[in-house]
Structure 1
């Protein structure tokens, strides 16, 4: 049985203000890996990154489903989803 809330969907804001979404089971370690230039090709070229949104899930499948759905949104929709819209 998997531990509750041990799976996370996270969003990073890169130095160029773009967003990067991902899945992890340890947010702090994953952000450190991205900032060390070893996380993903996308963030390696756009660091440093800052974690601006985290959502916890009971299963890896749920977290990855949320990540996929987020990636289908427009920039405006992503900003609204995270509660960062100014309107």
Structure 2
């Protein structure tokens, strides 16, 4: 039987104050990859980055839908979303 994974939508705050939303199954590993400049052009010149938000989902589809919805928001809406969903 296949191993069940948790899927995450996460938000990084970059050195320049911008946000980056992404999908992963391991938030800690993905943050380290961003800070090492691996697999993401957007954050490569905006390091260091730090995870400021993450949500877990049962399926990849749910997590990528949350990521897509976040990316469609304007900055003020992203700020409101993050404030309302503080951990």
Report the TM-score, using the length of structure 1 for normalisation.
0.89
The root-mean-square deviation of aligned C-alpha atoms, in Å, is 1.5
User: What's the CA shift for 1:19?
Assistant: 0.3
CA distance in 1, matches of 2:51, 2:59: 21
Partner SS for 2:23: strand
Partner SS for 2:37: coil
Task: Report the count of equivalent residues.
Answer: 83
User: What's the CA shift for 1:42?
Assistant: 0.4
| Gap regions ≥5 residues in structure 2 | none
User: What's the CA shift for 1:2?
Assistant: 6.4
Q: Which residue of 1 aligns with 2:71?
A: 71
| Gap regions ≥5 residues in structure 1 | none
CA distance in 1, matches of 2:39, 2:19: 14
CA distance in 2, matches of 1:63, 1:26: 13
Report the TM-score, using the length of structure 2 for normalisation.
0.89
